[in-house]
Amino acid sequence: MMVVMNVEATKDQIDAVITRVEANNFNVILNQGEERTVIAVVGTNPSVIREQLMYMPGVDHTVPISRPYKVASREFIPANTIFPLDGFMIGGDEVVIIAGPCAVENRSQVLESPYAVKEAGAHALRGGAYKPRSSPYSFQGLGEEGLEILAEARELTGLPIVTEVMAPELVPLVARYADVLQIGARNMQNFALLHAVGECDKPVLLKRGNSALIEELLMAAEYILSHGNRRVILCERGIRTFETTTRNTTDINAIPVLKSLTHLPVILDPSHSTGHADLVIPIARAGIAAGADGLIIEVHPNPKEAMSDGGQSLTPEKFATLVKQIKAIARDVGRK
């Protein structure tokens, strides 16, 4: 339930509502809008205290929040969440492109392409130092050494770093190096990990699990938001269907659906959603046309030799083509 305060409500009146809510063993989440304050009352069946709250001084009206996710919902926060990331904004007019290899393999591989991706127009650099591989015998990532290489790439290019964190105990370490913490599809419902990134002060890129409902993705985001970390980016990265020609099936629907249900930025990962380098550009175009706020793209200096996801990785040249085409579509749909 939301308690919508009136425009003239005083701080004392807002505090009195909060005190009353907490005295009834419900939790409070505040949205201090420019015009008025809205207080979300969360817990089991908050409508039992509706009558107590609706006549308190300063209260305009109360409304139920119909969705199970609260802070993530557009009902509670109608305006788009837009936040800065080293020199650009995510969630605003500009379409943001994150690019780089699937995994950090060695120094020269990472330090060879960041200039090319930066020059082509990437806003941020991706690369996994901790890799969630389907097989325990596949390359698992370089760990902290990989993070150091990413930090070096940031020093050289000025591009912020997006990298995956796979376990709660690794959050402090990864957060020391990364500008954005990625939660991979396989960990979308790792609640201990969601709590841990919710407590940290870095933005989080939350990928949709490959069998997760849109509502489950939003509930996973809610875990992070409920800890006070409001800088969450959602990522559609394909879901598992009966179709096996492509690695996953890009759920293009999810983009406008998410944009209508939540104020959080939504990006698309056409590399994992298709699994084929040849499909990345067309599906990236579709994602931006459908209203995505950005893209995350796997780019490798030599895809044939990649230690993971080479088949879906673009060369830096192909990536430059993608950026050019995306910019044109972005303009056509009223973005930058």
**What residue ranges bind ligand PEP (CB under 6 A)?**
102, 128, 132, 184-186, 207, 237, 269, 272
Q: Of the listed pieces 9-17, 44-52, 254-262, 307-315, which binds Mn ion according to CB under 5 A?
A: 307-315
Cβ nearer to ligand PEP, comparing 38 with 166: 166
**Binds 291: which of Mn ion, ligand PEP, none (CB < 5-8 Å by kind):** none
How many other CB atoms sit within 10 Å of the CB of residue 291?
A: 18
**Strands 294-298, 266-268: pairing kind:** parallel
Q: Of the listed pieces 18-26, 96-104, 145-153, 233-241, which binds Mn ion according to CB under 5 A?
A: 96-104
For the CB of residue 312, give the shortest distance to Mn ion in the complex, in Å.
Answer: 7
> Could you identify the residue written with the tokens 């069998």?
211
**Residue 309 is a binding residue for Mn ion (CB under 5 A):** yes
Cβ nearer to Mn ion, comparing 179 with 309: 309
**Binds 237: which of ligand PEP, Mn ion, none (CB < 5-8 Å by kind):** ligand PEP
- Where helices occur in the chain by DSSP H, the ranges are 11-23, 50-54, 107-112, 114-120, 144-157, 171-177, 191-199, 214-226, 254-261, 270-274, 277-289, 316-332
Q: Of the listed pieces 39-47, 95-103, 151-159, 203-211, which binds Mn ion according to CB under 5 A?
A: 95-103
> What does the block give as tokens for 48?
């039992």
For the CB of residue 45, give the shortest distance to ligand PEP in the complex, in Å.
Answer: 36
Contacts of 333 (CB under 8 A, 6+ apart): 288, 289, 291
Residue least distant from ligand PEP (Cβ)? 184
Cβ nearer to ligand PEP, comparing 118 with 207: 207
> Which of 2, 3, 53, 102 lies at the binding interface for Mn ion (CB under 5 A)?
102
Cβ nearer to Mn ion, comparing 102 with 288: 102
**Residue 293 is a binding residue for Mn ion (CB under 5 A):** no
Cβ nearer to Mn ion, comparing 102 with 234: 102
> Could you identify the residue written with the tokens 């298709």?
274
For the chain, state the CA radius of gyration: 21
For the CB of residue 103, give the shortest distance to Mn ion in the complex, in Å.
Answer: 7
For the CB of residue 162, give the shortest distance to Mn ion in the complex, in Å.
Answer: 12
Cβ nearer to Mn ion, comparing 154 with 247: 247
> What does the block give as tokens for 28?
């409070």
**Binds 147: which of ligand PEP, Mn ion, none (CB < 5-8 Å by kind):** none
**Binds 247: which of Mn ion, ligand PEP, none (CB < 5-8 Å by kind):** none
Closest C-alpha to 295, from 315, 318, 272, 278:
272
Residues 107, 152 contacting (CB under 8 angstroms): yes
CB < 8 Å & 24+ apart, contacts of 166-175: 166/130, 166/132, 166/193, 167/130, 167/193, 168/192, 168/193, 168/195, 168/196, 170/130, 171/196, 171/197, 171/199, 171/200, 172/200, 173/144, 173/147, 174/129, 174/130, 174/147, 175/200, 175/201, 175/202
Cβ nearer to ligand PEP, comparing 180 with 185: 185
- Residue 84's beta-bridge partner residues? 89
Cβ nearer to ligand PEP, comparing 71 with 170: 170
**Binds 293: which of ligand PEP, Mn ion, none (CB < 5-8 Å by kind):** none
Residue 219: HSE in the Cβ half-sphere, 13 Å Cα cutoff = 11
Contacts with Mn ion by CB under 5 A lie at: 102, 309
